[in-house]
């Protein structure tokens, strides 16, 4: 596995991004991913039951396992917009399908931005011709610009590997979990590949790897109405991957996992106001569900997150968060390690390490490993600290 320059593109895919007037600051706000032919496609959407119109429509369309184009707008979430929101989303998809001469059902729509404001669908429709005209294989960064809201840097990961002497390329782009400004809370991620894979196998792969990557990050515990992860496989490269037991599947699934994992981590690094990356690692929990629950509770604890922001060496808050997580364990058996150095032994502080542990609190990336000694299940969640800037970013907006 190695990186490659996404600027060279992936055969069979073109990208585009234009300014259509949805963002008030005049920046790019409509993006397009276009495949030469229908692709195998699979997606994971937000589990929030308050879903944006494009999520409702995208879920229906992707039941076919096929897609050829992705139409994304920023500046408006098209969420809580009722029946009109659905109509507006259909209208925009139809305009793109007509311009491309493809079936409307092959267009996957996405939106990100303010909730509860009608989508300015006229601007979207008006932008379609220019969007298609500018589509180019090397224009992924234009697409990336168009989907970004409060992200402070673009998030693109391109990795390749060989299967039977064929080069398999996987390239992903994401916009951040910056839970920001009025409501731009959405995580969007699109991954394209030249690999050939059966549709059902792609669907199960995406489900499995999203759970291990995008579902194991947390900035503030909130979940958007629009979250989407979509994978498009052009199937231009041999061999056809048709069994989860094959060596080719293993290579491909590793590529997908690694691209998703790196994108997920970039999202956390760009979390609102984040100053530190925290790797929350729960080991030896009784069940997998308890491992995840314990890790998520520590990751989302405001007391834990503010302590790390303040570089306050404070393992008691971690113990308290574990204790209220719902995970079952004996508090007199818990061990905790900061970057491998023991902080807690059998539920009590390790006094002799305090000096070195305080030094570790100054690092930009800290792994907190918690051994519950209650079973064999583990879970790692990636999160960030909670800073003044998080509150500032989320409070200072005035409508």
Binding site for a copy of itself (CB under 8 A): 47-51, 77, 79-82, 114-117, 179, 182-183, 185, 220-225, 300-303, 306-307, 309-317, 319-324, 328-329, 331-332, 344, 346-349, 358, 386-388, 390-392, 394-399
| Distance separating alpha carbons of residues 64 and 59, to the nearest angstrom | 10
| Distance separating alpha carbons of residues 218 and 199, to the nearest angstrom | 29
| Distance separating alpha carbons of residues 314 and 369, to the nearest angstrom | 14
Question: Could you tell me which of 200, 210, 267, 277 has the C-alpha nearest to residue 240?
Answer: 200
Closest approach, Cβ 334 to a copy of itself, in A, equals 8
| Distance separating alpha carbons of residues 260 and 263, to the nearest angstrom | 5
User: Of 153 and 397, which has the nearer Cβ to a copy of itself?
Assistant: 397
User: Of 6 and 308, which has the nearer Cβ to a copy of itself?
Assistant: 308
User: Of 14 and 283, which has the nearer Cβ to a copy of itself?
Assistant: 283
Task: Assess contact for 248 and 201: CB atoms under 8 A.
Answer: no
Question: Could you tell me which of 106, 377, 129 has the C-alpha nearest to residue 230?
Answer: 106
Closest approach, Cβ 214 to a copy of itself, in A, equals 15
Closest approach, Cβ 89 to a copy of itself, in A, equals 15
Closest approach, Cβ 350 to a copy of itself, in A, equals 10
Q: In what order do the strands lie in the sheet with 365-371?
A: 217-218, 377-384, 277-285, 365-371, 335-338, 341-345, 348-349
Q: Using CA of residue 316, residue 317, residue 319, residue 324, what is the dihedral sign?
A: positive
R_g of the chain computed on alpha carbons: 22
Task: Give me the active site residues, please.
Answer: 186
User: Of 195 and 319, which has the nearer Cβ to a copy of itself?
Assistant: 319
Helix axes 315-323, 302-309, angle to 10 degrees: 160
Task: Assess contact for 84 and 118: CB atoms under 8 A.
Answer: yes
User: Of 81 and 281, which has the nearer Cβ to a copy of itself?
Assistant: 81
Closest approach, Cβ 106 to a copy of itself, in A, equals 27
């Amino acid at each position: 596995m190695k990186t490659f320059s996404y600027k060279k593109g992936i055969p069979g895919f073109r990208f585009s991004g234009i300014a259509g007037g949805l963002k008030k600051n005049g920046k790019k706000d409509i993006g397009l991913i276009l495949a030469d032919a229908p692709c195998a496609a699979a997606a994971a959407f937000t589990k929030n039951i308050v879903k944006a119109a494009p999520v409702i429509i995208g879920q229906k369309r992707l039941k076919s396992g096929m897609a050829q184009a992705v139409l994304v707008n920023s500046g408006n979430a098209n969420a809580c917009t009722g029946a009109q929101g659905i109509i507006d989303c259909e209208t925009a998809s139809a305009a793109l399908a007509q311009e491309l001469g493809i079936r409307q059902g092959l267009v996957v729509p996405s939106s990100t931005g303010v909730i509860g404001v009608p989508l300015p669908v006229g601007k979207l429709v008006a932008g379609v011709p220019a969007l298609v005209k500018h589509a180019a294989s090397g224009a992924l960064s234009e697409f990336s610009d168009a989907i970004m809201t409060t992200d402070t840097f673009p998030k693109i990961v391109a990795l390749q590997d060989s299967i039977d002497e064929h080069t398999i390329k996987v390239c992903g782009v994401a916009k951040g979990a910056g839970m920001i400004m009025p409501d731009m809370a959405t995580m969007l991620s699109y991954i394209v590949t030249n690999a050939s894979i059966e549709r059902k196998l792609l669907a199960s792969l995406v489900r499995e790897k999203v759970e291990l990557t995008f579902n194991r990050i947390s900035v503030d515990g909130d979940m958007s109405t629009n979250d989407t992860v979509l994978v498009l496989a052009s199937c231009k490269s041999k061999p056809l991957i048709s069994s989860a037991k094959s060596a080719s599947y293993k290579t491909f699934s590793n590529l997908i996992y690694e691209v998703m994992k790196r994108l997920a981590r970039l999202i956390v690094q760009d979390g609102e106001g984040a100053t530190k990356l925290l790797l929350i690692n729960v080991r030896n929990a009784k069940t997998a569900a308890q491992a995840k629950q314990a890790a998520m509770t520590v990751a989302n604890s405001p007391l834990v997150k503010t302590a790390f922001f303040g570089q306050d060496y404070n393992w008691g808050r971690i113990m308290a968060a574990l204790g209220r997580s719902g995970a079952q364990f004996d508090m007199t058996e818990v061990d905790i390690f900061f970057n491998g150095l023991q902080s807690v032994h059998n539920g009590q502080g390790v006094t002799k390490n305090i000096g070195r542990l305080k030094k570790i609190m100054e690092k930009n990336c800290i792994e907190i490993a918690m051994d519950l000694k209650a079973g064999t299940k583990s879970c790692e969640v990636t999160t960030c600290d909670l800073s003044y800037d998080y509150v500032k970013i989320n409070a200072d907006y005035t409508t």
